[in-house]
Amino acid sequence: MILSLSLLNVFTVTAGLAVAKLTPDRHLSPQPPSVAARDLVRVPASSVVVPAADPGSGRPPNPSVLAGRLSALIGGPQAKINAVVVDAETRRPLYELRADRPATPASTTKLATSVAALATVGPAHRITTQVVRGTGGGIVLVGGGDPTLTALPPRPGASHPPYASLRELARQTASALKASGVGQVRVDYDVSAYQGSRTAAGWKPNYLPDGEVAPVTALTVDEGRVSPLDPSKKTRVSDPPASAAKEFARLLTREGVQAKAGRRTVAPQGAARLGAVQSPPMSALVEHLLTESDNDVAEAVARQVAIKMGRPPTFAGAAQAVRQVLARLGAAEGVSVNDGSGLSPRNRISPIALARIVSLAAGEKHPELRSVITGLPIAGFSGTLSPPRYTSASSRAGAGMVRAKTGTLAGVSTLAGLAYDADGRLLAFAFMAGDGKGPVDPGKLDRLAAAVAACGCG
């Protein structure tokens, strides 16, 4: 099978994650899919500039021709699909089918979350986890909401930048304690950075036991996974902060300071810091959460928006903060959310709103949003659009030409992103299928996106 790599032809690395400059070149030599993971040019992060997506030199497609192609695939006005295609540069709609009607976005909600985060805290923002002196001979492990905090050893060749290490934090803390003559401590923990319920409105009872997401707290190690070394096991711990304190006490003991897990508390104001580690930058977190559709990272990123905007660090506060930021960017119309990940079936976003959000991130006016585009899965190559998606004859035209965020809930499938058409014009699209009451076919959305990419409709 021959797959075009026009969206992969210029690679750089930002904070250790591969990002691609979008170009309209469709005349590359055939390459195997593995090139996407292999041919990375590593350069200092400080020298990387990811430009705006090139709108392309081609003229926009003829709306009536494009409509004819898409309507044939959708199957008529009775089909349970809301859809839109817009010119990414001008934002002018080229195809609309109930485009302004809000629908359940599922994980395409993460587009709104990501844009809001980058627009508020910025691409360079990092989340800090620290240890400070407590009371009564204790120390306090203070969670800042870093979803990548890990107790695992570093993995050479990992496809992500170095995560904040609980082991390193234990080494720093043990060194500071030994220097002050302390050889035995109690590890209390502070999760006051977040407030409210650990689950969002509308989340199904099976989400936590099935491991779709961990209870959302300000202190979690390895996303609360019971078996973080085994990706086939998704089970999460019931109390992530308590488990984190227990693991930190174990690591401290291994570093020569006898420690035991303590209780939940709030760190004393102005307490002396004994150690600190930081997450990857927000740009890397956004790329990861979009490529892999990571629910835990998405919820953490949404809370950072709430904190920055002075809203309560709760699900409701984060949702309000995200919409407030989108309003400031002129992209809030048609957006109503209850969480940051899209797990809530109560979320509602219209196709035109998703297309506008994607176009905003791809444009020249907001370079701080570029990680939204570089984090989108590449059709037939990466993340949630990896094979077998875009490998069938009916969708193959989109392979390498489409970058999009997927969304899946029971009875719902969504796809929103970018594609260069056959004339080299950059188009933004959103296709939203299903009403939550019956089966849906994600393959139909792939075929629609492929039709956009294959359209020489100028």
The one catalytic residue in 279, 293, 341, 413 is 293
CA–CA separation, 88 and 246 (whole Å): 50
Distance CA 253, CA 200 (A): 36
**Contact predicate 447/394, CB 8 Å:** yes
DSSP code of residue 393: T
C-alpha span between 406 and 106 (Å, rounded): 8
**Tally of CB atoms within 10 A around 86:** 24
Instruction: Respond yes or no: is residue 293 known to be catalytic.
Output: yes
Alpha helices in 293-389 (DSSP H): 295-308, 315-328, 351-362, 370-374
**Residues whose CB is less than 8 angstroms from the CB of residue 70 and which lie 6 or more positions away in sequence, other chains included:** 83, 85, 95, 97, 448, 451, 452
Could you say which of 110, 246, 405, 444 is catalytic?
Answer: 110
Count CB-CB contacts under 10 A for residue 363. 18
Active-site hit among 4, 107, 114, 395 = 107
* CA distance linking residue 408 with residue 342, whole number of Å: 9
Cα dihedral sign for 292, 294, 297, 298?
positive
175 is catalytic: no
The DSSP bridge pattern shows strands 273-278 and 335-336 to be unpaired
Per-residue exposure over 411-426, b if at least 16 CB sit within 10 Å of its own CB, e if not:
bbbbbbbbbbbbbbbb
Half-sphere exposure (Cβ direction) of 24: Cα atoms closer than 13 Å: 18
**Which residue type sits at 8?**
L
Active site includes 227?
A: no
| Residue found under tokens 């980058």 | 118
* 3-class DSSP assignment, residue 37: helix
| Cis peptide upstream of residue 388 (ω within 30 degrees of 0) | yes
Rounded CA separation 244/241 (Å): 5
Structure tokens at 144: 């800042």
H/E element, 277: strand 273-278
- Catalytic annotation, residues: 107, 110, 293
